[in-house]
Amino acid sequence: MRILITGGAGFIGSNLCEYFIGKDYEVVCLDNFETGHLHNLNAVISNPNFNLIHGDIRKIEDCQKAVKGVDFVLHQAALGSVPRSIKDPLTTNEVNVSGFLNMLIAARDAKVKRFVYAASSSTYGDSVGLPKVEDVIGKPLSPYAITKYVNELYAEIFSKTYGIETVGLRYFNVFGRKQDPNGAYAAVIPLFVKQFMNYESPVINGDGNYSRDFTYIDNVIQMNELAMLTQNPDAINTVFNTAFGDRTTLTELVQLLKNNLSHFDPKIAEVNIIHGPNRIGDIPHSLASIEKAKSKLGYNPQFSIELGIQEAVSWYFHNLK
């Protein structure tokens, strides 16, 4: 079978490329390399079953080229980051909404079997209930959150109107190997790891009591595979939380990173932590219910925050040095 992975040179996309090449799928990667990196594809680039297309989902012709002969689409391409969307909502919308629509149209016209896409926990917005359950959402708190919610609306309409099978995966704070620690919009875990390794004090936004359902990359890979292959009709044309189902405060996270990194470099134990102001657009707490994914997809996440951090820290220490 042939899979198209959009954003395949990015953090999640490149991990998916490696995984499915390892399972003898044919994999097409579409990426414009604005946030992805060619080095993320080092393990697969020379594989005869791997095909790299340098293109942009904002161009319908690139999307049409990429979906030719494809059975499944795993759509990961997007501009992430709440702060980036606040600074530049126009580009975020062009990539995340117009690009998403281009991909849906191309997949529909190519008669792709199923379109699995990266949705986001940001869709829960100002909903205060915990844990987050798929059918109860609030109002979005950022331009990024709006774009990811619009993706869900478009996917639902395309399923009902054109019969294309779609499955949305609401990612909760994914982390792990290959997540880029550099750049203005680096995610919190790789950023903190890099700072600790450079003996710089990480800055926690707020008092450190904000909490997140940090989700290791291998759990996300499992969800993509289950969503792609499921034969359960109740699991198609819907959305699923993609998480571990536990929450960790930022203070706990920093201590976990510090402890694990100190095994490799004892000097890191001496690095102090700094607190800064809360960040605009951030929700205080995030925790997923994963009961729907368990019951309809057979999801069984193997990596807790503790185990995932051990794996991630080891990877960073051996690849950032």
pLDDT digits (tens, 9 = 90+) for 69-114: 999 999 999 999 889 999 999 999 999 999 999 999 999 999 999 9
Does residue 56 fall inside a structural domain?
A: yes
Give the domain extent around 146. Answer: 2-177+215-244+289-304
Does residue 264 fall inside a structural domain?
A: no
The whole-number pLDDT of residue 282 equals 76
Identity of the residue numbered 242: T
Does residue 254 fall inside a structural domain?
A: no
Is the separation of the CB atoms in 216 and 283 below 8 Å?
no
CATH code, 41: 3.40.50.720
| DSSP structural state of residue 202 | P
Identity of the residue numbered 292: K
Identity of the residue numbered 238: T
Catalytic position from the list 144, 171, 210, 299: 144
Q: How confident is the model at residue 10 (pLDDT cuts 50, 70, 90)?
A: very high
Over 90: is that where the pLDDT of 204 sits?
yes
Cα separation of 74 and 14, whole Å? 11
Over 80: is that where the pLDDT of 280 sits?
no
Q: How confident is the model at residue 246 (pLDDT cuts 50, 70, 90)?
A: very high
Over 90: is that where the pLDDT of 206 sits?
no
Does residue 266 fall inside a structural domain?
A: no
Does residue 128 fall inside a structural domain?
A: yes
CA–centroid distance for 239 within its chain: 14
144 is catalytic: yes
Q: Which of 312, 177, 295 is nearest to 226 (CA)?
A: 295
Average pLDDT over residues 276-304: 92
Over 90: is that where the pLDDT of 52 sits?
yes
Domains in the chain: how many in total? Answer: 1
The whole-number pLDDT of residue 169 equals 98
Does residue 296 fall inside a structural domain?
A: yes
The whole-number pLDDT of residue 284 equals 84
Over 90: is that where the pLDDT of 279 sits?
no
Cα separation of 214 and 271, whole Å? 23
- Cα-only R_g, the chain: 19
Identity of the residue numbered 72: F
Q: How confident is the model at residue 220 (pLDDT cuts 50, 70, 90)?
A: very high
Cα separation of 163 and 158, whole Å? 7
Please provide the average confidence, as pLDDT, over all residues in the chain: 96
In Å, how far are 2, 191, 309 from 286, measured between CA atoms?
35, 20, 18
Cα separation of 23 and 281, whole Å? 39
Is the separation of the CB atoms in 251 and 204 below 8 Å?
yes
| DSSP structural state of residue 60 | H
Does residue 187 fall inside a structural domain?
A: no
Does residue 21 fall inside a structural domain?
A: yes
Percent of the chain beyond pLDDT 90? 92
